[in-house]
Amino acid sequence: MAVGTHPGIARATRNLRDDELRIYDATPAVNLTIVALDSGDLAWESTRPQGRNAINVLDRGSLSHLRPGDEAPVRLTFTIKYVECYKQTVNLPATAYEAIHHIGSAAGWVTTNNDNGGVYTLDMDFIITAPNDSSEESEMISFRKVHGDVNFTEGDEFNTLAFDGEAFMVEPEVLKVSSTTTTTTSTTTTTTA
């Protein structure tokens, strides 16, 4: 079999032109913001109990065996090009900044945190769309109970908002989805920061 022709293996690479981030609350049909990730730097880090958090057990100074370590939340970071922090009126879709901080147009959003801990969280889906000329499926990488902070940076070509936070899960959910699943019918979407 020739290189690159193995059945079931993706052949088309993806990049930032194929991505979008959906930020939503506990009522995603109502409160949803879609963000274009123009910087192409979304990153997450999951540390599983059997991964780097595994505990090396010693017996008199010698390696004896491994034990699962503690769970840790997924760390999530991304940067978006700055358009505005606040919308002009609360009737417009919320910006990512408003959604993350639970202010402005997103002040009425409902937390996805149902554990009575008092921390406002959102859910986020990172959609990686398969290229149009590909028969491959798209991917949706989901982060639940996301919370964190946003930092502003001024730039020569454009300003940015950088998110640094956590998802209250050990690793993200990764699903293969059809292209019809990745389209939205919500009327409250936006592509601004």
pLDDT exceeds cutoff 50 at 13: yes
pLDDT exceeds cutoff 70 at 117: yes
pLDDT exceeds cutoff 60 at 118: yes
Instruction: Name 159's Cβ contacts closer than 8 Å, sequence gap at least 6.
Output: 81, 82, 152, 153
Q: What is the pLDDT of residue 127?
A: 87
What is the tens place of the pLDDT at every residue in 132-169? 666 677 889 999 999 999 999 998 888 889 999 999 99
What is the tens place of the pLDDT at every residue in 52-101? 888 999 999 999 999 999 999 999 999 888 888 887 666 678 899 999 99
Residue spans of alpha helices (H) in 52-91: none
Number of Cα atoms under 13 Å in the Cβ half of residue 12: 16
| Closest CA relative to residue 11, chosen from 19, 20, 2 | 2
Q: What is the pLDDT of residue 1?
A: 43
| Residue 62 to residue 33: CA distance in whole angstroms | 53
Mean pLDDT of 17-35: 86
Give whichever of 11-15, 102-106, 143-147 has the largest mean pLDDT.
Answer: 143-147
- Domains in the chain, CATH or no CATH each: 16-177 (2.30.110)
Q: Sorting pLDDT into bands at 50, 70 and 90, what band is 8? A: low
Q: What is the pLDDT of residue 75?
A: 95
What is the tens place of the pLDDT at every residue in 172-193? 999 988 755 544 433 333 444 5
Instruction: Name 19's Cβ contacts closer than 8 Å, sequence gap at least 6.
Output: 36, 37, 40, 42, 126, 127, 128, 129
| Residue 165 to residue 162: CA distance in whole angstroms | 10
Long-range contacts, stretch 8-15, CB < 8 angstroms, 24+ apart = 10/136, 11/134, 11/136, 12/130, 12/131, 12/133, 12/134, 12/136, 14/128, 14/129, 14/130, 14/131, 15/40
What is the tens place of the pLDDT at every residue in 28-60? 888 999 888 777 788 999 888 788 888 999 999
- CA 91, chain centre distance (Å): 25
Q: What is the pLDDT of residue 134?
A: 61
Using an 8 Å Cβ cutoff, are 9 and 113 in contact? no
